[in-house]
Chains A and B, each alone.
Chain A
Amino acid sequence: VAKTSLTSPPWPEVKLPDPVEEAKYHAEVVQKVNGLIAAGQYGRLFAVVHFASKQWKITSEDLIMMDNVLEAECGDRIRMEKVLLVGADDFTLIGRPLLGKDLVRVEATVIEKTESWPKVNMRFWRRHNYQRKKIIANPQTVLRINTIEIYPCLS
């Protein structure tokens, strides 16, 4: 069969390595990462957390503001589940799509519950003598992420 410009795909063909070797390599990498975590040789940890229908990239001691009302009082500690990604300087742990709860622990405190700045909601139809003006102030919550911890229980 003659070779035309559409016989092979335009991207370079990639040869996958041997699955047995691949499994050995994986086990070695996992062991190394486990060792690093157990020894505590990571600096700052960052995490990608799904919270309030949004995904945030958070580190320790940073502020996050939600446009809703949480049922926790000011000063309560909150543990966030639904962690998608955890990373440090040398390694990252990617979840598919979530990481296990016995692996990561993200803690946050509710700092304040205020309202947003007064937004104007106005509806106006021209030549119909119709205008309505309403001032909206959404309730907001401010959280501060206290700690992100990981435990060496990979597999």
Chain B
Amino acid sequence: RYVRQLQRLQLLFSPTAADARGARQFVEEAAQDFARQHPDVVLYVSPHKGPGPAPVLRAEYLNGTVREELIASKTSEEIVQLATKMANQSGLDIIRIRKPFHTDNPSIQGQWHPLTNKPSILTVQGPRLQPQ
């Protein structure tokens, strides 16, 4: 019953750039292992020729959010860690969340209001009516 929230991982790098060395090593060595360990994630590797934009690992999630992270001048182990981290995330944007819990049915036995656990008006006796 668990659905991974990552749709696809796109690895954009250029084979000639010097800062994409980690990306190239990752593609040579670890990309296959990563793809086998996460069988429900699609990994696209798209090298673009020539001095283009910086090497980027782009993750798309099921709710449409796209997250890009630079992988320039990173070793291949770091890229593996980054990729697993993004694979474990969901597509919600990372802002401050106010509550660490979320329920759809917060009260089961009835929500407390100031009149619970108090005797009803008909049987309340005033403080002066009781004989001392």
Contact = CB atoms under 8 A, between A and B. Distances in A.
Asked if A pairs with B, the answer is yes
Interface of A: 43-46, 56, 58-59, 61-67, 74-75, 87-89, 109, 111-118, 142, 146
Given A62-B102, A63-B101, A64-B101, A113 B89 contact: yes
A113 B88 contact: yes
A117 B2 contact: no
A117 B88 contact: no
B103 A114 contact: no
A83 to B, nearest CB: 16
A62 B101 contact: yes
A44 to B, nearest CB: 5
A75 B105 CA distance: 24
Given A62-B102, A62-B104, A64-B101, A111 B90 contact: yes
A117 B95 contact: yes
Contacts of A87: 108-109
A89 B108 contact: yes
A58 to B, nearest CB: 8
Interface string B100-120: 111111001100000000000
Interface residues of B, number: 21
Given A61-B104, A63-B101, A74 B109 contact: no
Q: Of residues A45, A46, A88, A89, which shows the largest number of chain B Cβ atoms within 10 Å of its Cβ?
A: A46
Nearest to B106: A59
Contact of B2 (A65, A67, A74, A88): A74
Contacts of B101: 56, 58, 62-65
Interface in B77-98: 85, 87-90, 94-97
B74 interface: no
Contacts of B109: 87, 89
In the A-B complex, list the 6 residue pairs whose CB atoms are closest, starting with the nearest.
A75-B2, A62-B103, A65-B100, A113-B88, A63-B102, A114-B89
Nearest to B40: A75
Q: Of residues B2, B4, B97, B105, which shows the largest number of chain A Cβ atoms within 10 Å of its Cβ?
A: B2
B36 interface: no
